Every structure is written in C-alpha cells, then in structure tokens.
Structure 1
Amino acid sequence: MHNFINFHVLITHSPSCLNRDDMNMQKSATFGGARRVRISSQSLKRAIRCSDEYRRRLGERSVRTRDLARLAERFAAALDGRYPAGRVQQAIAWMAGKDGLAEDAEASAVAPWAVAEVARMCEAIAAGEAEGLEVKKLQKQIEKDAAAFRDAAAQTLDIALSGRMSTSDLLTSVDGALAVAHVITTHAVDSDIDWFTAVDDLVSEAGETGAGHLNTQEFSSGTFYRYASLNLAQLQENLGGATRGRALEIAGHLAYLFATVVPQAKQQTFAAHNLADAVLVSFADLPVSLANAFEAPVSAERSGGFRQPSQGRLFDYWRQVHRGYGLAESPAAFVLDGTQPPEGIAAQPDLAALIAWIGRDGRD
C-alpha cells in the first residue's frame, strides 16, 4: 500500500487580491524567471482550518495563541465547569513550562492548543494530588504519560495534520502529516491597480464635490497551482494508531477542502469565490510536486485563457515524471470541463466520485 497521497489542484481566480504582504501588495514569487502571484501556504491552511466546511467535516479546530491568560479563560468556559478555573490555569501553565499564570501571561511563540489535551492535564494533576505526589514527581509522572496526551491532542485534527513544535516537556511535539506548498500562478502575471474612492453622502448632499476617501489596491487574476502531500502513516500515528480507513476518510475531506476553500482577503471587494477546475490525486510511495510543469510560464492559447493549457501542462508533466522515474502510483482525476486525463489516470465524473475513490484506497 502506498503511504503518500499527493493532491494537485488547478483553480482559476477572477480579479482578486487573496493574500497581501506588509506593504498591502499581492504576495508574489519569481519562478522560471517570471513573476507569479502567490498565496502563502499559511494563508491557505488558515482559510481551510477556519472554514465552515472544515468544522462540518473534521470538527473543531485548535486555538492558536501565545496569550495564555486568555486561553485559560476560553478553555475554562469550553470545559463548562468540569474543572475549576484555577485548575485550568495550572494545567496550561505547566504545559507551557511555567509555574503559574499572571494576568498577562504569554508563551514564547504562537502554538496550537487542544481543549481535550488541557482537560487530560487537569485530570492528571487532580489524580496526582489525590495520591499526595510532590509537584516535581507529579510532573515527571505526567511526562512519562505522553501517549495519553498525544491521544487527547489527536481529537483536534489540525494538530495531527499540521503538527506542533514544543520546547516544553509537558506539551507534546507532533510531527505534521500534511505538507502544503505555496500556491503560485501557472503563468506570469502583471498586476493591475485599482484606484478607488468613497463618496461621503452628507458632504455630497451639501453640494460639495470630492471624495471622502481615496486609495489604491493591487489585484490580478490567474490560474493557480495548489499542491499538498499527506503522509498516511504519520497521520495514523498522530491519531493514536488510527486505522488506515480513518486516515483515508480524512484525506477525502482534504481533497474537498483543497478544491473549494478560498482565502477571504478582500472578498467583499472582489468576490473571487471560485472552485477548482481540475483535481489530480495520486497514491504514491513518496511526495512528488508537479510545480515544475509550470517552470516555463504557460501562455494563453490564442487569447483563450490559461485554464485549459495549464491542465494540459499538468497532465503532460505527470506523464513525464511517471514514465521517467517508473513511479509506482495509483492516480485519479476530476476535470470540471470533462477533459479526459491521459492513460494511467482514472477519470472521475465529479469531485464526490474522486473522494469516494480515495476512500477505497485508490481502487476502482
């Protein structure tokens, strides 16, 4: 059985500015000597993690913060009085490597926290105190019970997927099972500038002219390539020894999310709510990106756009890599316009069929 699932998604966005830098400009990258518009992996992962579809399919997400005092308040409320507020504060303090929490207590870095993991810590502290264990001995005992805390953290799937680095002995580190690339356009992009104004109604009604506000915003459109790779064995381990079937179920949900979720930046202005044009999924023995299909920027064919030639490039490059390296893999694809993928890739009539194929472990 193959251990990796590679997700390759082509999605065309109408004029938009989905991810900006500190200068309020579109994020970009140079690839193949040409400027591409970029959506950072962090932006895409957060959009997915915060989406309604994520919550519906994969449950509640972690809380990512360095503000430990506010985290204690949030989790005390979430646990609905199961543990005293002081106990929740103590649990979070220990997990953060602190003796206690001041009103403005902060961790050294933003980290994902799972409410179930904090609840497990509260239980461990209460049990240790009931036995009369000293603090240091109790903490040592808790450190040895890492598996129980990993299982508790696994109830919050985004930690199992994205991982967590921790320098505290009581907050378990998790190796991420999902790798997500920065999203780039398959072609070179010259951005446009929107010069916009806001009319002040009261000033206008008074007979005065001129805008109440004016500014500029960079934007563009294009066909984007999204890539991610899921390590199934790592996901199973992160989920406390979950079955492969459970990991495949999660993979199917990820395919849906990668095909449908769009970052929300400036969406009230541009409404670039676009869905994927093509989704190629491959079970393989190693992670393989197909980004090099677009190292030479795609050109619009006779002003026919970038969508279809990008699809052709993606499948052509898959064929080259597949044959050139003799890869043992099981691929399938859904293409919105009905284009048939090359021989060796199982064509799926719609996204639901592709997700069902993933659930069958890549079997027809």
Structure 2
Amino acid sequence: MLIEIHMLKNYPATNLNRDDMGAPKSCIFGGVQRGRISSQCLKRSWRVSPLFQKEMAGHLGIRTRKMPQLVVEELRKDGVAEEYLPIVLKKLTGFANKNGKENDLGITNQIVIYSPDDIKAIAEVMKKQVEECSDVKKLEKIKATDIEKLVKGAEARPISLDIALFGRMVTSPAFADVEASMQVAHAFSTNRVVMEVDYFTAMDDMIKMNEDLGSGMIGDVDFNSNCYYIYASLDVEKLLENLQYAENPEELVRSAVPALLHTMAYSNPTGKQNSFAGNILPSAVLVECKEFPVPVSYANAYAKPVRALKDKDLIQNSIELLQEKVLQTEHDFPSLEKVERVWFSEGGKYPFADDAGIKNADDYDSLIQFVVDTLKP
C-alpha cells in the first residue's frame, strides 16, 4: 500500500529554510520563482520534532559524528576500566573512513544516523577487545578498520524507525545501507514569491536621549510569505521490510503512521523561528491510500502561480486548484481509480462534492483515524 500525503500550509513572513547567503530558499517552477523548503529540511524538522520524539520514543536513532562518545558512555556503564576509554574513543573515530584514519577530536569523519542497536553492537565488540587486551598498549596497536570488520550482523540488525522511513547510506561494513520507504518532495509555494528584507537595529539600553546618538548595531534579514504545497509518499510494504528485524513491526507501523501525520501537520521548520514565529497548521490535507504502486504528485496544479483575487484569498484558490487536479487525474488515468481518499480543510469550508467519492473528514483527528483503519488487517 502507498500512503500519499498532500498538504497546504500558508505561512506569514518567515525564513524557514536558508540558502548559503542566509536568504529563504527558492526555485523556478512554471517559469516563475517560488519559495522552497528542501526535503532535507522537512525530514529533519519531522524527525527531531518534540512530538515525533515523544510519540515514537524508544524507536528512533541519532544522527551524529559523535558516535565514539556514545559507545564510550555504554562501556562506562558496563564497568570498563577508565584507562581504556580514551583509546576506545580514538579508535572509533576511524569508523566509516576508508583509510581508518583516527583523530583526537572524538568524532568520525562521516556523519551517520545510528539505531540504538548499532551503538550496542559496537560497544559489545569494543568491550570484547578490551577484555582480550592485557594492557592499554595492546589495544592501541589494533587498527580501527580491523575493529570495524568485527561488528557483524549489519544486514539482520534491527534499525530505528527514522532510518526505516528516510533511509541511510554509509561507507562502512558495520552498518547496513537502507533504502528509504518514504519519498519527500521539496515543498514549493503555490504563489509567485516576492523576496523582502527586514532592516533592523539593536538599541543600546545605556544610551540616553539627547546624549548619545545611534544604535548598538544594524543588520538585515531576508524573508518571504508563501502558501506551500507539501507532498510525501510512504510505501508501507517497504517500511515493513525495513523493520522486519524489529520487535512486532506491524504494530510499529500502525503506531508510526498516525505519529507521522500528527508531526507533519503540527511541526514546522525551525529556521529563524525566534524572529518570525511562523508556527502554522495546515489549511488543507489530502491523504490517499492505494494499492496501485505508482506515487503521484499534484504539483502541476500550480504550474501557473496562484494569486489572491477580490473574492478569493490565496488559500482558497490553492485548495480549489488542488481539488480540480485530483478529480482531473482520476478521470484521465482510470488505472488509479481504486484509491481511498480522505480530505480535511480548515473549518470544513472547502469539502469535496458528495459524488466525488472522497471522504470529507470533520476534523484532522478523523482524517488520521481513517488512515489508521485502512492499515488494519
């Protein structure tokens, strides 16, 4: 089964995802410039959101270069002698490095997302190496690449939910590469973007009127305002395959799907949020559940940028175009007919027609429950 999520979020002045110059990211679509939020930004905002971390606690990994420090903490808990731990720390910095080059920084050359079982597997190997060495000097002579090869069972080791969802690519035999079960598009604005600049000053509280002039500093920050179309596709069978070595994978998937839908709606990218507080809920969400194994984005509903009109705002026009695209696609491609669709719009103001064969959810929780029910055997 494929679960496809289509979401519209209308943001006020924000700078959610910056480029190398500090400006909001953008792209050209339909021949005009649009606001953009990268898929990497979206996935990270979902993965590390407090809501997702809470709902899926115990099933998530950690993406870091500080793996050696995590393993040392495990070994310290297991009672490994302190004099061995600095050597262990240095040896592990050579992991995921073709030459096994170690460093004194306590970090790996490559950033990797690890499951809890990955950390345990490394800790078990390192503990055995320490036990087999009669002194610290013998441990120092062991090469990092040799230790890495001793971390067996990568293909059958349980991975965390976030790895199963978003995938992992790593140049180390100690960890398995994982093909993502979830595709996430770069979100783009349904409207033409207009980039703006906020010029600001920071006032010195010690300056007294008529005695000193000027401010403590001046600066500027770029921002824009957009209605974003967000699209993601989840292959449930692939997710189950990725989680096959986890405890009760079917139950984990049934828990993960509502947690993911909650998170996508209730979390936002964190860029410049202290300056703009762009904390927005979706204006409309369409979820499609289908057995036909072809994901379909409705991005081309917005090939022509949307504008606010006298009697319709940007949100309403964006919603209507999405609804039209859904119905037109169903008509033009009858192979896609066997699709269970559920629709939510804020306040129920923009429902699908009764004869469209699409369920209109009264609220967002009802939409999520509909999707959960489709997962039941």
Pairwise TM-score range, normalised by the shorter structure: 0.7 to 0.9
State the AA in 2 paired with 1:74.
L
Residues 198 and 222 of structure 2 are in contact (CA less than 8 Å); yes or no, is this contact kept in structure 1?
yes
Give the C-alpha shift of residue 200 in structure 1: 1.1
Residues 125 and 150 of structure 2 are in contact (CA less than 8 Å); yes or no, is this contact kept in structure 1?
no
Give 1:164-243 correspondences, 5 Å limit.
164-204=168-208, 207-240=211-244, 243=249
3-state SS, counterpart of residue 16 of structure 2: coil
Provide the rounded CA distance (Å) in 2 between the counterparts of 1:53 and 1:206.
Answer: 50
Give 1:350's aligned residue.
363
3-state SS, counterpart of residue 202 of structure 1: coil
State the AA in 2 paired with 1:198.
A
Which structure shows the bigger proportion of residues in strand conformation? 1
Give 1:67-146 correspondences, 5 Å limit.
67=65, 70-77=66-73, 81-82=77-78, 84=80, 85=85, 93=94, 101-104=102-105, 107-123=108-124, 142-143=151-152, 145-146=153-154
Give 1:64's aligned residue.
63
Provide the rounded CA distance (Å) in 2 between the counterparts of 1:188 and 1:137.
Answer: 55
Give the C-alpha shift of residue 192 in structure 1: 2.0
Match of 1:270 among 267, 276, 294: 276
TM-score (normalizing by structure 2): 0.83
Identity %: 29
Give the C-alpha shift of residue 245 in structure 1: 4.7
Change (3 A) 1:219 1:102: closer
Give the C-alpha shift of residue 76 in structure 1: 2.8
Q: 1:253-300: CA deviations, max 9, x gaps?
A: 111111111111111111111111111111122211111111111121
3-state SS, counterpart of residue 9 of structure 1: strand
Provide the rounded CA distance (Å) in 2 between the counterparts of 1:91 and 1:162.
Answer: 25
Residues 70 and 119 of structure 2 are in contact (CA less than 8 Å); yes or no, is this contact kept in structure 1?
no
State the AA in 2 paired with 1:182.
H
3-state SS, counterpart of residue 286 of structure 2: strand
2:372 is the alignment partner of 1:359: yes
State the AA in 1 paired with 2:307.
S
Give 2:346's aligned residue.
336
Give the C-alpha shift of residue 51 in structure 1: 1.2
Change (3 A) 1:170 1:78: closer
3-state SS, counterpart of residue 349 of structure 1: coil
Provide the rounded CA distance (Å) in 2 between the counterparts of 1:109 and 1:122.
Answer: 19
State the AA in 1 paired with 2:63.
R
Residues 97 and 170 of structure 1 are in contact (CA less than 8 Å); yes or no, is this contact kept in structure 2?
no
Residues 189 and 226 of structure 2 are in contact (CA less than 8 Å); yes or no, is this contact kept in structure 1?
yes
Provide the rounded CA distance (Å) in 2 between the counterparts of 1:304 and 1:318.
Answer: 20
Could you tell me which runs of 5 or more consecutive residues in structure 2 were left unpaired when the two chains were aligned. Answer: 134-141
Could you tell me which runs of 5 or more consecutive residues in structure 1 were left unpaired when the two chains were aligned. Answer: none
State the AA in 2 paired with 1:321.
T
Give 1:55's aligned residue.
53
* Count of residue pairs brought into register by the alignment: 352
Q: 1:146-202: CA deviations, max 9, x gaps?
A: 3432x1xx2x22111111112222221111111111111111121222111111111
TM-score (normalizing by structure 1): 0.86
